[in-house]
């Protein structure tokens, strides 16, 4: 039985937001050590004096969530996940390019 | 509800060893993982595999499942036997799954963890009340905080441009007087703001797992995914449109009306444009702190020479233009 409609507080985590690494763990279902390692590998940027105080831009969350899923679901290590994320993005860029060219040729 | 043949889903015999099950899971997870797979229905298949592995990797759950016998067939109507689960102590519930919000305006969450009713009816009640979810490092233990839930929402590009609303049906465990848990449907309306992009998160405060001890409820996070668009191709906040133009528009220049996400706008095509050339409409992509641009990829479409008049025009061009498109090939 559905309860009456309600409108919860919906907030978009957007370009202006910087997220604490501890919150990143919660949002991406990923361990703190894994987030720190992904930052050190250059998968995402951060700011802040020490790893525990690092903040990452909310725009990085999609990358970190994919990395987290690959670590969790496929059992790959952090370096493997970092490599996979970059290769997946590269594959996405190439697919977009192919689709653009296909539209040019085939309509 | 329908019976699920977990052995069939995993592609192993009922006598398979734990190692064989693990190997099969790794192979299928790699094949169907939604982040890497190009297989049709990858997300659905992956979820089925995850659910099957959740049961078969756990000796207690597997033994209890095996007690149902081998007479049931995949998809057959099923109700748990009255004495279901007696003598077993399941540890941990399903790992943090990804429920899906589909394309319709009333979105259906399969269950709070993304697994089937079949799984929930057999193992879910214990899972919801249990400690750390298998594989979820944030499940906590003891007097833990209520967990966040994660779901996916698919939207059209036009909705991302203008903003939209979704009605979500959330199924939540509810404690019954006899101490067992039941799934109750809860409806929430969500406003998705304009300018949302692929993979972005929307937080719905307090819409995750409800705390049974009067504590703070968890949040619900919606991960946005963009459906492919017939006209526009999305890249970050930028969009690209392939615009067909006539040869004389390309040669002489023209002002044409171009579709954008915000409606048609007039754009000048410079003279001597070529097929594949890109033009930019600044700020006509997805809105945001830095709005995206719209790129126009020109595509010259040659009219067919299927009438005497059309043939005469092409003959005239041939005579007068002295044009060799293969000059660079030395032809």
CB proximity A29 to B under 8 Å: yes
- Please check the confidence at residue A15 and state whether its pLDDT lies above 90: no
Report chain A residues whose CB lies below 8 A from the CB of B163.
none
Report chain A residues whose CB lies below 8 A from the CB of B240.
100
Predicted pLDDT of residue B72? 82
Report chain A residues whose CB lies below 8 A from the CB of B198.
62
Q: Which two tokens stand for residue B225?
A: 């995914």
Q: Count of alpha carbons within 13 Å of B195, Cβ hemisphere only?
A: 15
Nearest CA in chain B to A93: B235
Q: Which residues contact B177 (CB under 8 A, 6 or more apart)?
A: none
Neighbouring-strand partners of residue B77: B2
CB proximity B50 to A under 8 Å: yes
Predicted pLDDT of residue B286? 96
Calpha distance A76→B151 (Å, rounded): 23
Edge-to-edge strands, sheet with B278-281: B232-235, B238-245, B294-300, B278-281
Cα B231-B232-B236 angle, rounded to 5 deg:
170
Predicted pLDDT of residue B67? 87
Predicted pLDDT of residue B68? 87
Report chain A residues whose CB lies below 8 A from the CB of B172.
none
User: Which of A2, A61, A73 to probe the B interface (max B CBs under 10 A)?
Assistant: A73
Report chain B residues whose CB lies below 8 A from the CB of A62.
198-200, 223
User: Which of A5, A7, A14, A96 to probe the B interface (max B CBs under 10 A)?
Assistant: A14
Calpha distance B97→A34 (Å, rounded): 20
Neighbouring-strand partners of residue B189: B167
Report chain B residues whose CB lies below 8 A from the CB of A60.
none
Beta carbons of A7 and B188 less than 8 Å apart: yes
3-state helix, strand, coil in chain A (%, to 5): 60, 10, 30
Taking CA atoms, B295 is separated from B114, B238, B276, B285, B321, in Å, by 38, 7, 11, 9, 31
Prediction pTM value = 0.79
CB proximity B59 to A under 8 Å: no
Q: What are A26-58's pLDDT values in tens digits? A: 999 999 999 999 999 999 999 999 998 999 999
Calpha distance B154→B171 (Å, rounded): 19
Query: Is residue B165 within 8 Å of residue B189, measured between CB atoms?
Result: yes
Q: Count of alpha carbons within 13 Å of B319, Cβ hemisphere only?
A: 6
- Please check the confidence at residue A11 and state whether its pLDDT lies above 50: yes
Calpha distance B133→B291 (Å, rounded): 40
CB proximity B75 to A under 8 Å: no
Predicted pLDDT of residue B110? 37
Report chain B residues whose CB lies below 8 A from the CB of A30.
137
Q: Which of B26, B138, B240 sits opposite A100 (nearest CB)?
A: B240
Confidence of residue A74 (pLDDT cuts 50, 70, 90): very high
Percent of chain A topping pLDDT 70: 91
CB proximity A5 to B under 8 Å: yes
Nearest CA in chain A to B167: A5
Predicted pLDDT of residue B173? 64
Beta carbons of B201 and A58 less than 8 Å apart: yes
Neighbouring-strand partners of residue B258: B265
Predicted pLDDT of residue B138? 31
Cα B60-B65-B68 angle, rounded to 5 deg:
140
Report chain A residues whose CB lies below 8 A from the CB of B189.
5-7
Beta carbons of A75 and B205 less than 8 Å apart: no
Calpha distance B47→B250 (Å, rounded): 50
Beta carbons of A31 and B137 less than 8 Å apart: yes
Query: Is residue B49 within 8 Å of residue B33, measured between CB atoms?
Result: no
For B2, other C-beta atoms within 10 Å of its C-beta total 13
Confidence of residue A66 (pLDDT cuts 50, 70, 90): very high
Calpha distance B31→B54 (Å, rounded): 17
Burial (0-12, 13-18, 19+ Cβ within 10 Å), B116:
middle
Q: Which residue is associated with the tokens 């890497």? A: B36
pLDDT averages per 10-residue partition of chain B, 331 residues: 92 96 95 93 93 93 88 80 68 42 35 69 55 33 66 93 88 68 78 92 86 81 93 96 97 98 97 97 94 97 96 96 91 63
Q: Which residues contact B221 (CB under 8 A, 6 or more apart)?
A: A27, B148, B149, B150, B151, B201, B202, B203, B204
Sign of CA dihedral B262, B152, B37, B39: negative
Predicted pLDDT of residue B104? 34
Predicted pLDDT of residue A16? 87
Q: Give the E-state strand segments of chain A in sequence order.
A: 10-13, 18-20, 55-57
Calpha distance A18→A7 (Å, rounded): 26
Q: Which residues contact B326 (CB under 8 A, 6 or more apart)?
A: none
């Amino acid at each position: 039985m559905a309860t009456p409609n309600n409108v919860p507080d919906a907030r978009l985590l957007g370009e202006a937001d910087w997220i604490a690494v501890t919150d990143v763990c919660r949002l991406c279902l990923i361990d703190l050590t894994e987030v720190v390692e992904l930052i050190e590998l250059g998968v995402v940027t951060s700011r802040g004096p020490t790893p525990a105080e690092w903040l990452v831009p909310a725009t990085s969350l999609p990358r970190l969530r994919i990395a987290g899923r690959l670590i969790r679901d496929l059992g790959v290590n952090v370096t493997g996940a970092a490599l996979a994320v970059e290769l997946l993005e590269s594959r996405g860029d190439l697919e977009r390019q192919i689709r653009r060219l296909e539209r040019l040729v085939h309509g | 509800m329908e019976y699920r043949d977990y052995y069939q889903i995993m592609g192993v015999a009922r006598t398979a060893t734990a190692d064989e099950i693990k190997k099969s899971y790794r192979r299928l997870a790699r094949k169907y993982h939604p982040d890497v797979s190009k297989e049709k229905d990858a997300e659905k298949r992956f979820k089925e595999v995850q659910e099957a592995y959740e049961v078969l990797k756990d000796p207690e759950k597997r033994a209890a499942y095996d007690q149902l016998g081998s007479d049931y067939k995949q998809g057959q109507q099923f109700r748990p036997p009255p004495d279901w689960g007696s003598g077993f102590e399941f540890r941990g519930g399903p790992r943090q799954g990804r429920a899906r919000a589909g394309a319709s305006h009333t979105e259906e969450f399969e269950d709070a963890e993304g697994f089937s009713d079949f799984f929930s009816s057999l193992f879910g009640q214990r899972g919801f009340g249990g400690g750390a979810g298998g594989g979820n490092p944030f499940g906590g233990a003891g007097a833990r905080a209520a967990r966040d839930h994660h779901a996916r929402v698919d939207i059209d590009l036009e909705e991302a441009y203008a903003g939209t609303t979704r009605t979500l049906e959330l199924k939540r465990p509810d404690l019954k007087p006899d101490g067992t848990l039941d799934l109750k449907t809860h409806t929430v309306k969500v406003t998705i703001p304009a300018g949302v992009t692929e993979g972005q998160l929307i937080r719905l405060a307090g819409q995750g797992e409800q705390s049974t001890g009067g504590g703070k409820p968890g949040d619900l996070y919606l991960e946005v995914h963009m459906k492919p668009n017939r006209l526009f191709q999305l890249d970050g906040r930028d969009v690209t449109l392939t615009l067909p133009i006539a040869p004389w528009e390309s040669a002489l220049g023209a002002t044409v009306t171009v579709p954008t996400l915000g409606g048609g706008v007039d754009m000048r095509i410079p003279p001597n444009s070529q097929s594949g050339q890109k033009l930019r409409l600044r700020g006509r992509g997805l809105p945001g702190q830095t709005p995206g641009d719209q790129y126009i990829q020109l595509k010259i479409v040659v009219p067919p020479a299927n009438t005497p008049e059309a043939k005469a025009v092409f003959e005239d061009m041939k005579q007068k233009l002295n044009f060799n498109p293969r000059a660079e090939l030395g032809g």
